[in-house]
Structure 1
């Protein structure tokens, strides 16, 4: 079979996916019309033309503007279902969806509205596509830790409905240490913890996420390559990195996909996974990230299979849930 077909049949988990970042311009305009929301752009074409980012912040400015179209429970349901349809076509068997409640509550959208819509989509995706899922609440790091605690307080009455917390948004100037107390509280609550670190931020941010936040996965982590000691630690601890190749190129972390260090990190024994981050903005869902990375970096089919296995092993699921996926993966010939 050809490479695209091979990638599609690999059972895989997507572990770094911002559900708001799957808002395609067509759906954005449909929801904006439905809700009477004015967008900064006049058309789908004008919106796509704006997707030329100089850095993470230039992307975030556009991302938050587009999120204004999301208002009611049905919007969040429709958003997530559009993602799950694409994920099913890409061979995703499990997805862990990041969501940013602060992006919505700041606009007057209730936390429960967001959660209800996403949770209903997760249940529908399980029935319709046999995709299991988890919801991970992300704190916006450009806001204060106190605002993070306020968001956690909103989530507490229904904390069993989420599975973990993360840390995203503008990395530079907002080190993980800023949120040490908040993450300690989340760990006390029994929540899984992850954090973005080492995308634009230095290797020291990755170390802080490991030591101060005690994360179970590092989101991005590509700048670990600048520190041999950190690389050795990540390999030794088998700390999963949720790498997003097309995103990294779109945000100018690497000049081209051929310059990406994903294969070098894999060769160094690091538990890298491939994910799509904000695919509506970065030009490709998880299958395209696999295919394009393979072409640009010379990844062989066994390496792609290893990356898929890494994703399944790093997912926040039970061994009983994971076992049939791993057995299916093992049965696929390269």
Structure 2
């Protein structure tokens, strides 16, 4: 099964580019930009990656982002992630970025988006990896800050396809950002949002009804609400689940108790993603392995995560058909061999 997973075409829909900042690159950028960081070695950084909840992770996540200053830094960060994608056979990725994390430090919006976009374009040309970019609002900040960020994004609609909502879910319900999401929809952006990770299942319902989200990031608390489960199945609302992240942040105590496979078997459009892989100990292939080791699955079931992700993506129908056929062919060839 390891060989099958390694070669399986994969589509990632829930990836925070700032969360791919490996300790080695953190030190390299800190030295290049003369930024002081509170660590003496990469081993010390990794030792600090022991989190008891989402906020304990975010504290160190924002601290690490301080080394990102120049357009080249964002390019290098994104390029390093794309090389990981190539190794894991990720054929398409839809990347989140958090502009407020950087603009609040005095880094220009254009610096951030141009660095990321330049790497994504090169990844398309030289690695054959297609990609789309989604801008997230930080939900622990106020809606006025989100509106300001949305305005900064307007000249970059050729680079940014959608907006999302991330950061601390507790105490920051979806309704807090209803107006800015309505404005984003009017401007032509697609919408996604984190919900039902550490927050209640009602956050998922509100995200669908108030924010007009077409995808739910995480969403694992949906199992607490039978009526919501029926809705997700009937409407085929995609959930971009991040198994290793959920384990690292104690959303589930062990992978054996994770509900991702149960959701899949109940016909929820659930997908596998890596979230913040530098911090949570695994990229796409690692997440697939972790799920399958804890929940024995058939090859057809494993491939369904990819089929779901293709359908849940913001790709054109032509591209969806191409990637679906690619996966069908892979599954057939593997079965034949």
**TM tier relative to shorter chain:** over 0.9
CA displacement at 1:327 relative to structure 2: 0.7
1:173 corresponds to: 171
Aligned twin of 1:287 = 285
Q: Report SS of the residue matched to 1:160.
A: coil
How far 1:7 moved relative to its partner? 1.5
CA contact (8 A) 1:293 1:299 kept: no
Q: CA deviation at 1:154?
A: 1.1
Structure 1 unaligned segments of length 5 or more: list them.
Answer: none
In 1, Cα distance between equivalents of 2:102 and 2:115: 13
Alignment equivalent of 1:17, drawn from 15, 28, 32: 15
Q: Equivalent residue for 2:28?
A: 30
- Per the alignment, residue 144 of structure 1 pairs with 142
Question: Secondary structure, in 3 states, of the residue corresponding to 1:212?
Answer: helix
* Structure 1 consecutive aligned stretches of length 4 or more whose deviation exceeds 2 Å: 157-160
Distance (whole Å) between structure 1 residues aligned to residue 299 and residue 18 of structure 2: 31
Aligned length: 332
Q: Distance in 2 between matches of 1:293 and 1:299?
A: 9
Q: Residue 299 of structure 1: CA displacement?
A: 2.3
Give the aligned partner of residue 68 of structure 2.
Answer: 70
Q: Secondary structure at the match of 1:246?
A: helix
For 2:304 and 2:261, how far apart are their aligned partners in 1?
A: 12
TM-fit CA distance, 1:42: 1.6
Q: Which TM-score applies when normalising by structure 2?
A: 0.97
1:255 aligns with 2:253: yes
After superposition, the C-alpha distances for 1:152-208 in whole angstroms (9 at most, x for unaligned) are: 111112223200000000000001110000000111111110000000000010000
Post-superposition shift, 1:10?
1.8
Q: 1:313 corresponds to which residue?
A: 311
Aligned equivalents of 2:299 and 2:155: distance in 1?
A: 46
* SS of match in other structure, 1:193: strand
Matched residue, 1:59: 57
Q: CA deviation at 1:4?
A: 2.6
TM-score of the two chains, using structure 1 as the length reference: 0.98
Q: State whether residues 235 and 270 of structure 1, in contact with CA within 8 Å, keep that contact through their aligned partners in structure 2.
A: yes
Equivalent positions of 1:1-334 (< 5 A) are 3-331=1-329, 332-333=331-332, 334=335
8 Å Cα contact 1:168/1:195 also seen in 2: yes
- CA offsets per residue over residues 190-239 of structure 1, 9 Å max, x none? 11100000000000100000000010000000000111111111011000
CA drift at 1:292: 1.2
Shift of 1:305: 0.6
| Root-mean-square deviation over aligned CA pairs | 0.8
- The alpha carbon displacement at 1:150 in A equals 0.6
State the Cα distance separating 1:5 from its structure 2 match: 2.3
**1:226-283 deviations in whole A, cap 9, x for unaligned?**
1111111101100000000000000000001111000111111100000000000000
Q: What is the rounded CA distance, in whole Å, between the counterparts of 1:158 and 1:47 in structure 2?
A: 34
8 Å Cα contact 1:197-1:209 kept in structure 2: yes
* Aligned-pair CA distance for 1:38: 0.4
Please say if residues 40 and 65 of structure 1, whose CA atoms lie closer than 8 Å, have aligned partners that are also in contact.
no
CA contact (8 A) 1:7 1:90 kept: no
CA distance in 1 between counterparts of 2:283 and 2:297 reads: 18
SS in 1 for 2:267: coil
SS of corresponding position for 1:37 = coil
C-alpha contact (below 8 Å) 1:243/1:274 kept by paired residues: yes
Map Cα deviations across residues 60-91 of structure 1 (whole Å, 9 max, x no partner).
00000000011100000000011001111111
